[in-house]
A and B are shown apart, each in its own frame.
Chain A
Amino acid sequence: MAGPAAMETPLMKQYNAIKAKYPGALLLFRVGDFYETFGEDAIRAAKILDITLTKRGNGSASEIELAGFPHHALDTYLPKLVRAGNRVAICDQLEDPKSVKGIVKRGVTELVTPGVSYNDNVLERRRNNFLAAIFSGKNAMGIAFLDISTGEFYAAQGPENYINKLVQSFGPAEIIYTKSQREKFETQFGEEYATFALDDWVFAFDFANEKLIQQFKTNSLKGFGIDGMNEAIIAAGSILYYLEATEHRDTEHISAIARIDEDKYVWLDKFTVRNLEIVSSQNEGGVPLLHVLDQTVTAMGSRNLRKWMILPLKEKQSIDERLQVVEQFYSDEELTEKLLEQLHQVADLERLISKVAVGRINPRELLQLKRSLKAILPVKEILEKSASAELKKLGDQLHRCDFLLEKIDKELMDDAPCSFIRAGL
């Protein structure tokens, strides 16, 4: 790609060094007010984004293709690159160019992959964006799912058909697995899902266990119900490693992992999920059951419904608990209307608070968070006053967050802009 080292400009030298650290990723290289791509990346980016492909160092031995776009257009162009199946490394200037002599220090601040994204333009509001990791051990297969945008983290293990069924149900945006099992998974999932293979050493029990304990700040994994599920733990640990490898280091919102308990849910084989067209349709233009049933008004409701649909219950008591609440709402239209009116005002709390945790929230989003929390206050009151024990319980579980509300109210302007402010840059 580049000429002999002696011919390289300092900038290209820096570029090549960074590029080498992220093999397989398309590198967006910040130069002044632009993100530039070079060589193969430029050819790819120009095609996907429909931007002009030019050449740098025309005629010289170090001639190289070049394509770029202004930095403020990142939110427009990044999702297109990711949706086209690319892993995109964003390389920023780490110093103020005004304050340094010579070349500015640069580094990759985020590696965006289909399964790891906070970007609202990549994410779909009504569904989770799961990253899955699969590990095939001696006795069982382990799987873990993480939605970094909401902090939801699940693990399970079992025979191969169970794992396949979970993949089918959860429909992850990206699947990672170990290099030595690449062939097996590539043929199994490669066509339908974006996949990435990690080095084998990542998939070791001690390493994974340590990673999870560190993440959750606990002494053991007993409290999460995945103790002893070694394959599941290995899969979950590899996910945390992958976050680090993609420069996602602020992950405090990932504070727990939940076991997908085979014994709690109806076993739907993967043909059932597909043939019954529960959450997606086999035919183009077909309507899945989800679309008929989904009358939810919040993003959380919609995502939760999808989960309930792929994981129906099989314990009478828990089913009856839900049915009783539904009956309550069914018979009390006034109550239903009042609650819906409030829920209509609730934005995507889950993704907003994740953005708080990773320090990527903008002032306008913080206002949305405030309004959403305020809308919940009457909900809490209504539920707590209810005669139904189930509704009372739900009301009790809601937090008022008074102090936070007061602070935001007092400090944040009511028409604050959505400009991007990020710590540490």
Chain B
Amino acid sequence: MLIHQGGIIKEGVNAELDELRGLAFSGKDYLVQIQKREIERTGINSLKISFNKVFGYYLEVSNANKDKVPADWIRKQTLVNAERYITEELKVYEEKILHAEEKLLVIEQRLFLELVHHASDYVAQIQQNARVVGVLDCLLSFAVIAKTNKYNKPEISESTRLAIKAGRHPVIEKQLPVGETYVPNDIYLDNETQQILVITGPNMAGKSALLRQAALIVLMAQMGSYVPAEAATIGIIDKIFTRVGASDNLSRGESTFMVEMTETASILNNLSNRSLILMDEIGRGTSTYDGVSIAWAIVEYLHNHKDYKPKTLFATHYHELNQLTEDLVRVKNFNVSVKEVGDKIIFMRTLKEGGSEHSFGIHVAQLAGMPNKVVLRANEILHFLEKDKHKNESKAKFDELPKATAQMSLFEMDPKSKAVHDMLEKIDINTISPVEALLKLNEILSVLKK
């Protein structure tokens, strides 16, 4: 089956092909001569020879010259303003030309397939060339991007230290609005002194970005790229685990908390001494106290593992976890700093040693455009609750917590706080009307006054 139009193989490759081409070409040349001769003979200056698939070659005469057509022409087709004729002679040459063309197409096709067949001997070599080009291209790309984005060469080390100086998040830093610069951060982890960082800070302060930034820098270094940091020493990491509390799988309708716990369990069962673990707001999918307890137990487990000291970044808004450092020597508290100016806050986005006291959740609500009344009222409640003994009590409870026994202990809440807590939790802030909110507050107060 011929699908191609020819014009594939050069001259001088195949003698038969060249000969056929000559024939087809000279045939066409002869057609031009026929055209000239017939113009002279008939005096029809607009006479032309054309080709179509139905009639082959034909002579076309406009209606004005119809009467000058000689008797030996055979009429084939009548158009609106012209007539088409063939002659014996034309058909003889047509036969020659078409025959030659058909044959030369077959030969071209054959020669092309032979060439392809010949090329198929080079499959392995060219596949190797492709591989080398791929590798080279990647390494060049790393060099180019390192220049444009001001990355530096990491030091890969057999130690278990991970030290990043002035690291940046490679993707976020590219998406900042013009004029803003990414605030770089230092991160240090090792297996001996600083194995687990508990990072507290308000929502939106950039805890998650910080966690991912550390992992991305490690990944980039270990794929052979420069990294977005002033300097980085990467003690080789062999496993990276990530868990983000209750964010995905919501659409599948599974119990998010169940999913979260199953997945966290799979991390704990696959640890190694060179693991890097990112835990972002783990335990968020359950009530506060369950959440704190689970988070607490996980950190303890990672710290006290008998064989491995996996490096862990643990972001949480449960500042209760700051108390972990009292007993676990390789756990360190850090916070993503926030400046309080008057009643407002400014995100500084720098990582600092030390815990943080509040979660600034209400400030965030304010930033999110919550009506002022609600924010003010929420502030009042917060102060009230903070004054309440519940906070101190719970701190005391954490202090009394049995130390990392085999069984995780649970603890009970003050019943009053628990009731208030439950009520608060049931409130859907999106649907409640101001009046209902006031009534609800009254109800809450009455519970506390009991």
Measured CB to CB, the residues of A under 8 A from B are 96, 150-151, 161, 252-253, 255, 266-269, 271-272, 274-278, 282, 287-289, 292-298, 300-305, 308-309, 312-316, 319-323, 325-327, 329-330, 336, 339-340, 343, 346, 349-350, 352-353, 356-357, 359, 361, 363, 366, 369, 373, 376, 379, 383, 394, 397-399, 401, 404, 407-408, 410-413, 415-417, 419-421, 423, 425
Q: What 13 additional pairs, Cβ within 8 angstroms, besides A301-B133, A361-B116?
A: A151-B123, A271-B244, A289-B170, A325-B139, A326-B146, A353-B130, A356-B116, A408-B119, A411-B13, A413-B10, A417-B5, A423-B113, A425-B1
| A278–B131 touching, CB < 8 Å | no
| A401–B156 touching, CB < 8 Å | no
Please tell me which one of the listed residues A314, A325, A376 contacts residue B133 in the complex, with CB atoms under 8 A apart. Answer: A376
| B226–A330 touching, CB < 8 Å | yes
B22 → chain A, closest Cβ, in Å? 17
- Bound form: Cα–Cα A415–B248 in Å: 54
- Bound form: Cα–Cα A73–B19 in Å: 35
Please tell me which one of the listed residues B145, B154, B215, B241 contacts residue A323 in the complex, with CB atoms under 8 A apart. Answer: B154
> For the complex, is B56 an interface residue (Cβ under 8 Å from A)?
no
A82 → chain B, closest Cβ, in Å? 22
> For the complex, is B23 an interface residue (Cβ under 8 Å from A)?
no
- Bound form: Cα–Cα A321–B128 in Å: 19
> For the complex, is B126 an interface residue (Cβ under 8 Å from A)?
yes
B154 → chain A, closest Cβ, in Å? 7
| A420–B13 touching, CB < 8 Å | no
Q: Which residues of A contact B10 (CB under 8 A)?
A: 410-413
| A410–B237 touching, CB < 8 Å | no
- Bound form: Cα–Cα A103–B126 in Å: 43
Q: Which residues of B contact A294 (CB under 8 A)?
A: 141
Please tell me which one of the listed residues B5, B132, B134, B157 contacts residue A303 in the complex, with CB atoms under 8 A apart. Answer: B134
- Bound form: Cα–Cα A76–B119 in Å: 28
| B215–A417 touching, CB < 8 Å | no
B225 → chain A, closest Cβ, in Å? 7
Q: Which residues of B contact A379 (CB under 8 A)?
A: 133, 136
Would you list the 6 A-B pairs with minimal beta carbon distance, nearest first? Answer: A301-B137, A322-B224, A329-B143, A304-B134, A300-B134, A419-B4
| A353–B135 touching, CB < 8 Å | no
17 pairs, A vs B, C-beta closer than 8 Å: A252-B123, A271-B263, A292-B170, A300-B137, A301-B141, A303-B134, A305-B137, A323-B154, A343-B133, A350-B134, A356-B116, A369-B119, A376-B133, A383-B136, A399-B125, A401-B125, A411-B13
> For the complex, is B444 an interface residue (Cβ under 8 Å from A)?
no
| A407–B242 touching, CB < 8 Å | no
B-side binding surface: helix, strand, loop or mixed?
helix
Given A282-B248, A407-B118; A267-B240 close (CB under 8 Å) = yes
Q: Which residues of B contact A151 (CB under 8 A)?
A: 123, 127
The residue in A252, A255, A271, A336 that gathers the most chain B C-beta atoms within 10 A of its C-beta is A271
| A353–B122 touching, CB < 8 Å | yes
Q: Which residues of A contact B120 (CB under 8 A)?
A: 252, 356-357, 359
Residue interface bits B90-127, CB-to-A below 8 A is 1, else 0: 00000000000000000001011101101111111111
| B141–A339 touching, CB < 8 Å | no
- Bound form: Cα–Cα A349–B124 in Å: 12
B242 → chain A, closest Cβ, in Å? 4
Given A267-B238, A316-B158; A349-B115 close (CB under 8 Å) = no
A61 → chain B, closest Cβ, in Å? 36
Given A292-B174, A301-B133; A313-B116 close (CB under 8 Å) = no
Please tell me which one of the listed residues B121, B156, B270 contacts residue A320 in the complex, with CB atoms under 8 A apart. Answer: B156
Please tell me which one of the listed residues B3, B125, B242 contacts residue A272 in the complex, with CB atoms under 8 A apart. Answer: B242
| B119–A298 touching, CB < 8 Å | no
Count how many chain B residues have C-beta atoms less than 8 Å from C-beta atoms of the other chain.
84
> For the complex, is B398 an interface residue (Cβ under 8 Å from A)?
no
A250 → chain B, closest Cβ, in Å? 9
| B135–A271 touching, CB < 8 Å | no
Q: Which residues of A contact B236 (CB under 8 A)?
A: 314-316, 319
Measured CB to CB, the residues of B under 8 A from A are 1, 3-5, 7-10, 12-13, 109, 111-113, 115-116, 118-149, 153-154, 156-158, 170-171, 174-175, 212, 215-216, 219-226, 236-244, 248, 263, 266-267, 270, 274, 278
- Bound form: Cα–Cα A90–B171 in Å: 44
Q: Which residues of A contact B212 (CB under 8 A)?
A: 275-276
| B4–A421 touching, CB < 8 Å | yes
| B109–A421 touching, CB < 8 Å | yes
A393 → chain B, closest Cβ, in Å? 10
Q: Which residues of B contact A350 (CB under 8 A)?
A: 127, 130, 134
- For B113, the closest partner residue in chain A by CB is A423
- Bound form: Cα–Cα A168–B123 in Å: 30
Q: Which residues of B contact A325 (CB under 8 A)?
A: 139
Given A269-B242, A326-B225, A356-B119; A346-B133 close (CB under 8 Å) = yes
| B219–A309 touching, CB < 8 Å | yes
B74 → chain A, closest Cβ, in Å? 25
B349 → chain A, closest Cβ, in Å? 19
Q: Which residues of A contact B3 (CB under 8 A)?
A: 419-421
Please tell me which one of the listed residues A313, A320, A404 contacts residue B119 in the complex, with CB atoms under 8 A apart. Answer: A404
Given A289-B170, A308-B224, A350-B130; A401-B122 close (CB under 8 Å) = yes
Q: Which residues of B contact A292 (CB under 8 A)?
A: 145, 149, 170-171, 174
The residue in A274, A308, A373 that gathers the most chain B C-beta atoms within 10 A of its C-beta is A308
Given A308-B223, A419-B4; A322-B170 close (CB under 8 Å) = no
Given A266-B237, A326-B225, A417-B4; A411-B9 close (CB under 8 Å) = yes
Q: Which residues of B contact A408 (CB under 8 A)?
A: 115, 119
- Bound form: Cα–Cα A329–B267 in Å: 39
Q: Which residues of A contact B135 (CB under 8 A)?
A: 304, 394
- Bound form: Cα–Cα A408–B147 in Å: 40
- Bound form: Cα–Cα A313–B239 in Å: 11
Given A287-B171, A411-B111; A268-B240 close (CB under 8 Å) = yes
B444 → chain A, closest Cβ, in Å? 37
| B141–A363 touching, CB < 8 Å | no
- For A359, the closest partner residue in chain B by CB is B116
| B5–A336 touching, CB < 8 Å | no
- Bound form: Cα–Cα A308–B142 in Å: 12
Q: Which residues of A contact B158 (CB under 8 A)?
A: 316
| B157–A316 touching, CB < 8 Å | yes
Given A287-B171, A294-B141; A363-B153 close (CB under 8 Å) = no
Q: Which residues of B contact A323 (CB under 8 A)?
A: 153-154, 156, 224, 226
A311 → chain B, closest Cβ, in Å? 8
A164 → chain B, closest Cβ, in Å? 10
| B127–A313 touching, CB < 8 Å | no
- For A286, the closest partner residue in chain B by CB is B171
| A363–B133 touching, CB < 8 Å | no
| A300–B141 touching, CB < 8 Å | no
Q: Which residues of B contact A275 (CB under 8 A)?
A: 212, 242, 244, 278
- Bound form: Cα–Cα A300–B134 in Å: 5
B86 → chain A, closest Cβ, in Å? 23
Q: Which residues of A contact B266 (CB under 8 A)?
A: 161, 269
